Every structure is written in structure tokens, then in C-alpha cells.
């Protein structure tokens, strides 16, 4: 039984409906609540993993384009965020080339080159406002600069959720609706729920998708390993033209704001302390405490998304974590109702690690002197993390990327952030010195030129999307 | 290996490399079997495969055959490859579990190209066509480690490594920092360096004798502490796999090379006398001995610090794990690869050292768990050693992994470690640890559809193996034959 509503519930239901055999009865108990508000904490941008995740849940990209306000995203531009007040685009990219056994960025350090973005198609195209799908063929097309780029989506959680709802095969799920009036608990497990005071409904496994209130899971595990309390609000401004394929994030003393081009509108998201006065001009708003539940899986109940953990939507981390929650659940769908201890232990181990890693990446974004020394930012930085310190120190020392098991953000994400923010390694890998410096320089200049040429040849995001939409509307099965 | 790799990778840099080596000290001779990663090592050095094979009397290797591990009389191959294709994000073995529950008696092996090719003594290199069954595996070599060392010595010397013959008799440390400053050889020669790589074997001349890194003794988990090694004549066609046969107090290896077969018995002295171990080894040989058996002793475990001050211990100087899964040479390779990744400057940053030790420590720990699995995923209790393992308290990392597998065939994933999921599947299933249940998602496929699909995979494997040349013929045709004085070859 999936209990809740909004994005987490529909993404979960669509995936279950697609992957579980028909013999498993799936019930959605959609409880009355304005999920649109709390769902704002999922942010507005997803990572490159979304394409495959969506497809596995039955949401093809054409269905997403035709059924929601989603737009393509090369990543996020952090405005005046870097050292010296510079900006950079935190784009998605496949691993950078390894040249003679040495990672490409070591040659940049050796050459005294301080910018990585000229080598990243997503960054260059993002700043020009252009887009096209990266080719994924193994042949010559696969060698183009565009093929090294990756993309995610800009999304509105409510519109996104509708796509997943539409992907559920008719008749596959049992759908209940109403106000949650009772959650029965016994012996460390949920024993049933009631909607609108009706009879109890029961299940073998309860998936709590009720958002930060965690209506079910909080009864079994009330401990919230908490952080800061934040308020988020969103306003949409109608737009005739689709904006650039990049979300723009800027800071102020009391928080930060993001402008995300969607199809038909631009969403303004503002994040501040929960105590700050709400600036939403008739839009949506919500507040929540960042952190995670000690046990995302307790007994026969699993918290998916915000019911188990909330990360500040400064990066695509919230959506990545939600997708990982569902993927993790799918690999651990219980095999027996008698005992789920193996599943619970493994799920919680991985949930904890994923959450830590995502927090760490978000936290690393704050290691810049450009951010104000205000209460909001001081509190945001007030989370010591020895592994993050080690990562930053190893990069600062010699440009080495330290990785741990199965991090949601990849080494190239870290590299793009380090360079973007203006972190300069003290020295480069000595192995880079074997190559002829002039040849290296020529290689790098050529590579940057190829990226610039490729980006210049792309159509504007608006034109590309308009043509794609027109093409899909002719035959949506494409 | 270290000298050759550093010579290749540091070529062109103002770094002088000296190799201090003594002909008086032989190599251990354990670990003549490698893992597919060795190919990346050779490739990075620009080594020609055929030339290397001729120089080292090498054969190709598709996996390791384990005999008598789950029960006496059992055998399975741990292949360098996966079993069947993943469908709807669910690995094939989960579908196989369902097939099995429905009465199907096909072996999991029948869905693995490298297992069937190995069983039939055939070999080819992997295909570049990713849709072909022939692309679903990797391969390694079985070679004469002594000859490989000579081959690499010559490679290193050609690239400017200066080799000094002699034994280290004294290590001089800086009075203030404790860094190793010089080593003094038997003939009185003093050799100074900024960085010392300790490849002195078990005793760890620099890392332990001088720097006292300390040793984490893992013999509570892996108690084997002795080995006897003996070469025998080649006997019949060359097999493209190594064999590890479980015995009453350890296990016996058999590694077919072109010019001989390497054999040995790894055992635990608490459970068997040296003489009995010798007799068991000899009784298990399938051809006459070519030399007197050589004896070794060791303690399983790892240095507390593989890298301390300006000394990096690589290979047996860093630690010892019995070569049940051919990891000894791989651990040398890992040591070199990670050293190059965090190659120090003269400041010897504490973080570089900590990162190196973290990475190598993780490799050791994960290999340890995998080796231990062979001893505990078993139904054997016919000797004191097997009963010892029955009552052993396992590391949490391993017991949780076994639990997850036994309950539902779930494999706890990691990213950094030598043995990934297919290897764990091979050993679990090979040693009869069949999960109680399978992933519920496989129920989405009907048994008829699954049966047809499985039969199709088997047929593809079978057809691909039929197209594969015989192993010895492939060695000849690919230019790797040294002399191949093999009957019938």
C-alpha cells in the first residue's frame, strides 16, 4: 500500500505497477493534503539518471514532453557564487578524457588554465541558451563533443507527478482517496489505516509517501536526525518563449533563489529560514526541517522521499534521492511477510549512505568566500564532515578526486564544482609532465574549439523544444 | 612489476629509479595465476601479449575451477564473466532461481560462455560486438611468475632502471624524521633515495623491520599459514583455467603453463602436519614432479600502514592473502596503480599517505571476505578445519552479505573492490548456497516465456563455444607459443 500523494506517491506507484507481477496487489491510499506545497522541496531540476528512471516507470520522454511542463536541463548556473563573485554552470557531463593515463584536468592545472567550462558542452551551450539531444551511438557521432554532455529536466513536481499517474496501466492499482483518519500500530508495525473514518484497510507492506509529516513511518520511528528548518516558496510567471536550458541560482543574505525555465512559465523558487516572512506572491509555500529519519524502513513500513529524508534543493539531489529510494525499494521488495529484517537493514544502510553523500555535495557548494557571512549561511555551513574535508583537501593539494562507494554525484560532478567555484590545486599530477607541453596546449585548445563550434551549431532551447513538440504531436508514439 | 611500471609511467621525468634485487633470494612461486586486470597493466606498459606469453610460458585463463568445496565431489568454475543477460533490471541468476524452483535442472554454468568454453578447453579473445555472447567475458593468464619478473626486469632496464645486485643488510633512517635515508648492501654499497618501495616479501624489510608499521593478523578468519609448491610435467591438453581443490586442512592448486604445471598445497599447520600436507599434495598430483617441493610459511593479514613515512610496501611486504582467487599478483598491481594515483612529492603529504592506505586497506578487506566465503559457504564438516569454520564468527561485512544472499539472492553492492557481483554469484551457487527465495520481480515473466528465453541463452552459449578454437591451438595461432612441448597439443 502506497500511502500519501504527490510526486513521491505517483513515481512509486508507476514503478511498482510496471515491475511487480500482477499477483501483487498495489493500493494507493491518496490522502487529502496539498502535496504541491511540500513537494516544492524536491526542487525544480533532475539529473541525467531521470531519463532511465522515467522509462522504467513507463514515462517515455515524449510522454513527459507532451504531458507536463518539463524542459531540458544542462544543469544549474550558480550566479556570483564562486570565488571573486564569478558564476559557473554546474552541468552534467560524462567522464572527461584520460590522456596517457592522466585525467584531463591535471593538464589544465599544469598549464595554469583555471577554467573547465570551455571543455563542457553543457556549460557552453547553457550559457548560449542552446540545446540538442546528445547522440548515444557508438560510431563517429559518439565521439562528438555533444556526445559527452548529459542532461536532466527542469520540472514542476505537480505536473511531473501527473505524468507518472498517467503511466499507470488502467486497472492495475486499487485507488482509495480521502482523509487519513487512523493509523493503527502494533508490535513495531503498521496494522492498518482508515480513510474518512471508514473500515481499516491493511497491507503487507506500507510505503509512506505522505511527505515530511510521515504519517505512517513517524509512528514507528519518530526520531528525525534534523538540521535546519527552511521555508520554500514558488511563484510562476507565464512565458511565451521557453528560457535557457539552465536553472539559475543566486544567493542573498537570508537564503537563495532559483529561476527555472519550464514550458509555459518560469518558476521562481526562494529558500530562506523557516522563521523568515514568506515572500510568495500568491504562490505556493511550505516549510520543513532538513535531515533524515533514523530508519527509512521500519518494520513493514518504508518512507519514500520526504517521509524519510529532506535535502535542500540547491542541487538535483532531492530528485536523485527520491529516484534512488524507489530503485532501492525495487531491489528489496520483500520476499516474505514473516520477516523483512534483511531488507530493512540493507535498505537503511544504503539510504543513510545516499543521504550523506547528497548532503556532502550540497554542503561542498557552500565552501566559497562569495557567500555572505549571515545567519542563514553560517547555519548552512555548520555541519562538520571529515570525509568532505578529505575530499576538498585532496583536491586542493593535488587535484585528486576522492570517491566513496556508489555516490550519487560522480567524480566529474565534483570536478565541475571544484573548477567552477575556483578551487585551484596546489600542484598537478607529476605524470602530466611527461607529455610535451606545447602538444598538450594544442590538444586542449582544439578540444575547447570543438566544444565551442558544436555549441554554436545548436538551436536555441526554445526552437529545439518547439520543433520537438510539433514533431511529437504529429505522432506521439515516436 | 613496480620497477617496470614506474619506469614506464615516470619516463621522461627527472626521477631516477634503482632496483635492488638479489639473485640469492628466490621468488615465492605462489601466485602464478592472474586476474583479467593484468591485461590493463600490460597494456599500460605497452607490452605485446604474444611476446609476453612466449617469454613467460603463459597460457590463457578463463576462470578458476573449484573442486570439493561445497561438498566432496562437487566442482564449479568461477568465470571471468557474468551468467546470462540482465532483464528488466533483474540479473539473470534470479530468473534461474525461479526456473530451478519450477523443476528445471539446467546448471547456472550453462548460461556462461567462459565456463562452457573453459570446460571444453577452448579459448578466444572477447568479441568487440557487445551483442555477441563472445563479448561477455574477460580473460587473464597463467604464467611463470619468475619468468614474468625477468621479462619485466629487462623491460625496466631498457627504460633506464638501474639494477643493483645485492642484499640489503642495513637500513639507515633519518634521526629526526625517521624517514629511510639509505639502504646498505652486502658489498657495502649505500643507496640513497627519496622514496623507497619495499618489495622484500613477507618480512617487509623496510616497512616492518625498520619502520615497524605493525601487522593486522587475520588468521582468526583465514588460518592457513603454510604452503608447499612443486612443479610437475605438463600432462595432456592445456586447460584455460586454474584449479583449486579443497583438502582436509587447506587446498591444492594446479596451474597449467606451457612448459610445466605449477602445483601447491596451502594448509593450516594447526590441522595437519607438514609431512601429511606433503603426502596429500603428492597424492593429488597428476604427473611426475620436476623438482623437490619448496616450503613457505606466512601469516594472513595486512600491514597496519602499507605506506609509512617514505616507504610503500607493495606485494607480500604489504600483506598476505592466500592465492585461492589469484589475488597475489593483483594486489601488487593495485599497490602500484594506487601509488601512481597519489604519487608523492618530497613533502610526503600525510593526506596522500592516508588516502593510499585507505584505498589499499579496502581492497584487502573485501578480498578477505570473498576468500573467507569459500570456507564458510560449504556443507563440509569432514575434518577439523571444516568444523572450525562452522563455528567461526564472521566479520559483520561478510555475515550481512551471506544473510542477504541466503534470504533472497540479494547481493550487497560496492563500487571499489576486486570481486563484483558475478564473482559472488559464482561462489555462492557453486558451493550450493542457493537462496531461499528469488526476487519477486521475476514473477512478471511467465514460466513458459522464461523457459524459452533460458533455452535460447543456452543455445547461444553452446553455439558460440562450438565456434571457439581449442586453447592450445589458439596459443599457437596467436603467436604466444614458447615451445609447447605438450603431448597431443
Q: Specify if B446 maps to a domain.
A: no
Q: Tell if the CB–CB gap between B410 and A405 is shorter than 8 Å.
A: no
Q: How far is it, in rounded angstroms, from Cα A230 to Cα A21? A: 40
* Disruptive mutation site among A326, A357, A389, A405 for chain B (greatest number of B CBs within 10 Å): A405
Q: Specify if B277 maps to a domain.
A: yes
pLDDT tens-digit series, residues B438-473: 999 999 999 999 999 999 999 999 999 999 999 999
Helix runs in B234-383, H state only: 274-283, 328-341, 350-376
Mean per-residue pLDDT, A191-195: 98
How many domains does one find in chain B? 1
User: Distances from the Cα of A155 to the Cαs of A50, A271, B340, in angstroms?
Assistant: 11, 17, 43
Q: What residues of chain A lie within 8 A of the CB of B355, using their CB?
A: 390, 394, 400, 402
B334 Cα to chain A: minimum distance (Å) = 15
Cell for A234? 514558488
Q: Is A52 on the interface with B (CB under 8 A)?
A: no
pLDDT band at A1 (very low <50, low <70, confident <90, very high): very high
Check whether A428 has a pLDDT greater than 70.
yes
Closest residue in A to B91 (Cα) is: A331
Q: How far is it, in rounded angstroms, from Cα B337 to Cα B162? A: 21
pLDDT tens-digit series, residues B66-98: 999 999 999 999 999 999 999 999 999 999 999
pLDDT band at A279 (very low <50, low <70, confident <90, very high): low
Sign, CA torsion B127/B131/B132/B137: positive
pLDDT tens-digit series, residues A16-69: 999 999 999 999 999 988 889 999 999 999 999 999 999 999 999 999 999 999
Q: What is the pLDDT of residue B487?
A: 43
Q: What is the 3-state composition of chain A as percent helix, strand, coil, each rounded to the nearest 5?
A: 40, 25, 35
**E strand or H helix that includes residue B43:** helix B37-45
Q: What residues of chain B lie within 8 A of the CB of A405, using their CB?
A: 413-416
* Disruptive mutation site among A16, A21, A23 for chain B (greatest number of B CBs within 10 Å): A21
Interface of A with B in 365-404 (CB under 8 A): 390, 393-394, 397-398, 400, 402-404
Mean per-residue pLDDT, A388-414: 97
Q: Specify if B272 maps to a domain.
A: yes
Mean per-residue pLDDT, A142-166: 94
Tell me the binding residues of B for L-tryptophan. Answer: 325
CB pairs under 8 A between A and B: 91
User: Distances from the Cα of A278 to the Cαs of A235, A254, A282, B303, in angstroms?
Assistant: 12, 12, 10, 58
Q: Is A201 on the interface with B (CB under 8 A)?
A: no
Check whether B29 has a pLDDT greater than 60.
no
pLDDT tens-digit series, residues B290-320: 999 999 999 999 999 999 999 999 999 999 9
Q: Specify if B281 maps to a domain.
A: yes
Closest CA to A25 of A155, A171, A178: A171
Check whether B489 has a pLDDT greater than 60.
no
Q: What is the pLDDT of residue B236?
A: 83
Check whether A198 has a pLDDT greater than 80.
yes
Interface of A with B in 334-363 (CB under 8 A): 334-336, 342-343, 345-346
Q: Specify if B331 maps to a domain.
A: no
CB B389 within 8 A of CB B219: no
Q: Which of B9, B349, B438 comes nearest A397 by C-beta?
A: B349
> Quick one: what percent of chain B has pLDDT higher than 90?
95
Q: Specify if B363 maps to a domain.
A: no
User: Distances from the Cα of B108 to the Cαs of B426, B427, B454, in angstroms?
Assistant: 9, 11, 10
Q: Specify if B303 maps to a domain.
A: no
Q: Which of A19, A342, A406 comes nearest B413 by C-beta?
A: A406
Q: How far is it, in rounded angstroms, from Cα B98 to Cα B437? A: 8
CB A460 within 8 A of CB A130: yes
Q: Which residues pair with A98 in a beta bridge?
A: A103
Q: Give the neighbor-by-neighbor strand order of the sheet with B226-232.
A: B75-79, B63-67, B242-246, B250-256, B261-267, B226-232, B294-297
Helix runs in B246-327, H state only: 274-283
Q: Tell if the CB–CB gap between B342 and A397 is shorter than 8 Å.
A: no
Q: Tell if the CB–CB gap between B345 and A397 is shorter than 8 Å.
A: no
pLDDT tens-digit series, residues A76-127: 999 999 999 999 999 999 999 999 889 999 999 999 999 999 999 999 999 9
Clarify whether B98 is annotated catalytic.
no
Closest CA to B361 of B335, B324, B399: B335
Of the residues B61, B98, B308, B460, which is catalytic? B61
Tell me the binding residues of B for FAD. Answer: 168, 316, 329
pLDDT band at A478 (very low <50, low <70, confident <90, very high): low
Q: What is the pLDDT of residue A226?
A: 83
Residue span of the structural domain in which B293 resides: 226-297
Average pLDDT, chain A: 95
Q: How far is it, in rounded angstroms, from Cα A30 to Cα B201? A: 65
Mean per-residue pLDDT, B371-391: 97
Q: What residues of chain A lie within 8 A of the CB of B340, using their CB?
A: 101, 431
Q: What is the pLDDT of residue B488?
A: 41
Closest CA to A168 of A30, A71, A296, A40: A30
* Disruptive mutation site among A342, A347, A404, A425 for chain B (greatest number of B CBs within 10 Å): A342
pLDDT tens-digit series, residues B120-175: 999 999 999 999 999 999 999 999 999 999 999 999 999 999 999 999 999 999 99
Mean per-residue pLDDT, A202-228: 95
Check whether A278 has a pLDDT greater than 70.
no
Tell me the binding residues of B. Answer: 61, 168, 316, 325, 329
Mean per-residue pLDDT, A299-322: 98
Q: What is the pLDDT of residue B235?
A: 82
Q: How far is it, in rounded angstroms, from Cα B480 to Cα B489? A: 14
B416 Cα to chain A: minimum distance (Å) = 6
pLDDT band at A215 (very low <50, low <70, confident <90, very high): very high
Q: Which of B345, B404, B413 comes nearest A427 by C-beta?
A: B345
* Disruptive mutation site among B43, B86, B89 for chain A (greatest number of A CBs within 10 Å): B89
Check whether B22 has a pLDDT greater than 90.
no
Q: How far is it, in rounded angstroms, from Cα B62 to Cα B40? A: 16
Cell for B261? 604445471
Q: What is the pLDDT of residue A32?
A: 87
CB B262 within 8 A of CB B147: no
B214-251: b (≥16 Cβ within 10 Å) or e: ebeebeebbbbbbbbbbbbbbbebbbbbbbbbbbbbbb
Q: How far is CA A360 from the centre of its chain?
A: 14
Q: What is the ipTM of this complex?
A: 0.94
Q: Specify if B208 maps to a domain.
A: no
Amino acid at each position: 500500500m502506497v500511502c500519501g500523494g504527490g510526486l513521491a506517491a505517483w513515481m512509486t506507484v508507476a514503478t511498482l505497477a510496471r515491475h511487480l507481477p500482477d499477483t501483487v496487489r498495489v493500493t494507493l491510499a491518496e490522502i487529502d493534503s496539498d502535496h504541491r506545497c511540500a513537494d516544492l522541496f524536491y526542487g525544480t531540476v533532475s539529473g541525467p539518471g531521470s531519463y532511465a528512471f522515467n522509462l522504467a516507470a513507463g514515462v517515455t520522454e515524449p510522454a513527459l514532453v507532451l504531458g507536463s511542463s518539463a524542459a531540458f536541463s544542462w544543469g544549474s548556473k550558480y550566479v556570483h557564487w564562486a570565488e571573486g563573485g564569478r558564476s559557473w554552470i554546474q552541468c552534467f557531463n560524462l567522464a572527461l578524457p584520460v590522456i596517457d593515463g592522466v585525467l584531463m584536468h591535471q593538464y589544465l592545472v599544469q598549464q595554469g588554465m583555471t577554467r573547465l567550462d570551455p571543455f563542457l558542452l553543457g556549460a557552453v551551450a547553457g550559457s548560449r541558451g542552446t540545446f540538442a539531444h546528445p547522440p548515444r551511438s557508438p560510431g563517429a557521432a559518439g565521439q562528438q563533443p555533444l556526445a559527452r554532455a548529459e542532461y536532466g529536466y527542469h520540472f514542476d513536481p505537480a505536473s511531473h507527478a501527473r505524468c507518472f499517474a498517467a503511466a499507470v496501466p488502467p486497472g492495475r492499482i486499487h485507488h482509495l482517496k480521502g482523509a487519513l483518519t487512523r493509523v493503527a500500530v502494533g508490535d513495531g508495525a503498521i496494522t492498518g489505516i482508515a480513510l474518512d473514518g471508514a473500515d481499516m484497510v491493511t497491507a503487507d507492506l506500507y510505503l509512506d509517501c505522505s511527505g515530511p509529516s510521515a504519517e505512517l513511518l513517524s509512528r514507528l520511528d519518530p526520531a528525525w536526525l534534523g538540521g535546519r528548518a527552511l521555508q520554500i516558496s514558488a511563484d510562476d510567471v507565464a512565458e511565451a518563449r521557453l528560457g535557457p536550458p539552465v536553472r539559475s541560482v543566486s544567493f542573498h543574505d537570508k537564503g537563495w533563489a532559483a529561476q527555472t525555465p519550464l514550458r509555459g512559465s518560469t518558476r521562481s523558487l526562494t529558500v530562506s529560514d523557516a522563521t523568515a516572512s514568506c515572500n510568495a506572491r500568491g504562490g505556493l509555500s511550505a516549510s520543513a526541517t532538513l535531515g533524515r529519519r533514523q530508519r527509512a524502513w521500519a518494520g513493514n513500513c518504508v518512507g519514500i522521499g520526504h517521509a524519510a529524508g529532506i535535502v535542500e534543493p540547491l542541487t538535483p539531489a532531492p530528485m536523485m534521492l527520491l529516484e534512488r529510494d524507489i530503485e532501492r525499494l525495487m531491489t528489496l521488495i520483500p520476499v516474505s511477510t514473516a520477516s523483512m529484517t534483511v531488507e530493512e537493514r540493507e535498505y537503511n544502510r544504503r539510504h543513510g549512505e545516499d543521504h550523506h553523500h547528497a548532503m556532502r555535495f550540497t554542503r561542498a557548494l557552500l565552501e566559497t568566500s562569495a557567500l555572505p557571512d549571515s545567519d542563514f549561511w553560517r547555519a548552512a555551513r555548520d555541519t562538520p564532515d571529515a570525509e568532505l574535508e578529505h575530499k576538498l583537501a585532496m583536491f586542493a593539494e593535488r587535484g585528486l578526486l576522492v570517491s566513496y562507494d556508489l555516490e550519487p554525484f560522480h567524480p566529474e560532478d565534483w570536478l565541475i564544482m571544484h573548477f567552477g567555484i575556483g578551487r585551484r590545486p596546489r600542484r598537478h599530477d607529476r605524470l602530466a609532465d611527461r607529455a610535451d607541453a606545447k602538444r598538450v596546449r594544442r590538444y586542449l585548445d582544439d578540444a575547447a574549439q570543438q566544444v565551442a563550434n558544436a555549441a554554436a551549431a545548436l538551436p536555441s532551447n526554445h526552437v529545439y523544444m518547439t520543433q520537438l513538440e510539433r514533431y511529437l504531436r504529429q505522432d506521439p508514439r515516436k | 612489476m613496480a620497477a617496470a611500471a614506474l619506469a614506464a609511467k615516470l619516463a621522461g621525468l627527472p626521477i631516477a629509479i634503482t632496483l635492488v634485487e638479489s639473485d640469492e633470494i628466490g621468488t615465492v612461486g605462489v601466485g602464478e595465476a592472474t586476474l583479467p586486470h593484468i591485461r590493463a597493466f600490460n597494456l599500460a606498459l605497452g607490452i605485446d601479449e604474444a611476446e609476453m606469453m612466449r617469454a613467460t610460458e603463459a597460457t590463457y585463463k578463463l576462470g578458476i575451477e573449484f573442486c570439493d568445496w561445497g561438498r566432496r565431489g562437487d566442482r564449479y568454475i568461477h568465470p571471468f564473466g557474468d551468467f546470462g543477460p540482465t532483464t528488466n533490471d533483474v540479473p539473470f541468476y534470479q530468473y534461474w532461481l525461479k526456473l530451478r524452483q519450477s523443476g528445471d535442472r539446467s546448471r547456472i554454468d550453462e548460461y556462461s560462455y567462459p565456463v562452457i568454453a573453459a570446460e571444453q578447453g577452448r579459448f578466444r579473445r572477447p568479441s568487440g560486438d557487445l551483442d555477441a555472447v563472445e563479448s561477455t567475458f574477460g580473460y587473464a593468464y597463467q604464467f611463470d611468475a619468475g619468468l614474468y619478473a625477468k621479462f619485466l626486469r629487462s623491460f625496466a632496464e631498457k627504460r633506464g632502471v638501474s639494477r643493483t645486485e645485492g642484499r640489503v643488510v642495513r637500513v639507515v633512517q633519518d634521526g629526526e624524521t625517521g624517514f629511510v635515508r639509505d639502504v646498505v648492501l652486502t658489498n657495502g654499497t649505500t643507496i640513497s633515495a627519496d622514496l623507497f618501495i619495499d618489495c622484500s616479501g613477507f618480512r617487509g624489510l623496510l616497512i616492518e623491520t625498520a619502520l615497524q608499521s605493525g601487522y593486522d593478523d587475520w588468521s582468526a578468519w583465514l588460518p592457513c599459514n603454510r604452503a608447499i609448491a612443486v612443479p610437475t610435467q605438463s600432462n595432456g591438453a592445456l586447460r584455460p583455467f586454474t584449479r583449486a581443490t579443497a583438502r582436509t586442512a587447506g587446498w591444492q592448486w594446479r596451474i597449467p603453463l606451457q612448459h610445466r604445471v605449477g602445483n601447491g598445497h596451502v594448509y593450516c599447520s594447526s590441522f595437519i602436519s607438514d609431512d601429511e600436507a606433503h603426502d596429500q599434495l603428492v597424492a593429488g598430483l597428476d604427473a611426475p614432479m620436476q623438482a623437490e617441493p619448496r616450503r613457505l610459511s606466512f601469516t594472513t593479514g595486512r600491514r597496519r600502514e602499507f605506506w609509512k613515512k617514505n616507504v610503500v610496501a607493495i606485494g607480500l611486504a604489504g600483506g598476505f592473502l592466500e592465492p585461492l582467487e589469484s589475488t597475489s599478483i593483483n594486489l601488487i598491481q593495485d599497490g602500484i596503480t594506487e601509488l601512481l594515483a597519489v604519487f608523492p612529492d618530497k613533502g610526503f603529504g600525510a593526506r596522500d599517505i592516508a588516502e593510499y592506505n585507505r584505498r589499499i586497506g579496502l581492497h584487502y578487506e573485501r578480498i578477505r571476505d570473498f576468500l573467507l566465503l569459500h570456507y564458510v559457504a560449504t556443507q563440509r564438516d569432514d575434518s577439523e578445519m571444516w568444523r572450525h569454520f562452522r563455528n567461526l564468527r564472521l566479520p559483520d561485512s561478510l555475515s550481512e552479505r551471506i544473510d542477504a544472499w541466503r534470504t533472497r539472492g540479494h547481493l550487497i553492492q560496492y563500487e571499489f573492490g576486486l570481486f563484483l557481483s558475478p564473482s559472488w554469484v559464482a561462489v555462492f551457487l557453486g558451493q550450493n548456497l542457493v537462496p531461499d527465495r528469488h526476487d519477486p520481480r521475476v514473477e512478471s515473466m511467465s514460466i513458459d516465456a522464461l523457459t524459452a528465453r533460458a533455452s535460447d541463452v543456452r543455445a547461444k552459449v553452446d553455439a558460440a563455444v562450438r565456434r571457439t578454437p581449442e586453447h592450445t591451438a589458439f596459443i599457437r595461432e596467436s603467436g604466444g607459443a614458447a615451445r609447447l612441448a605438450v603431448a597431443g597439443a
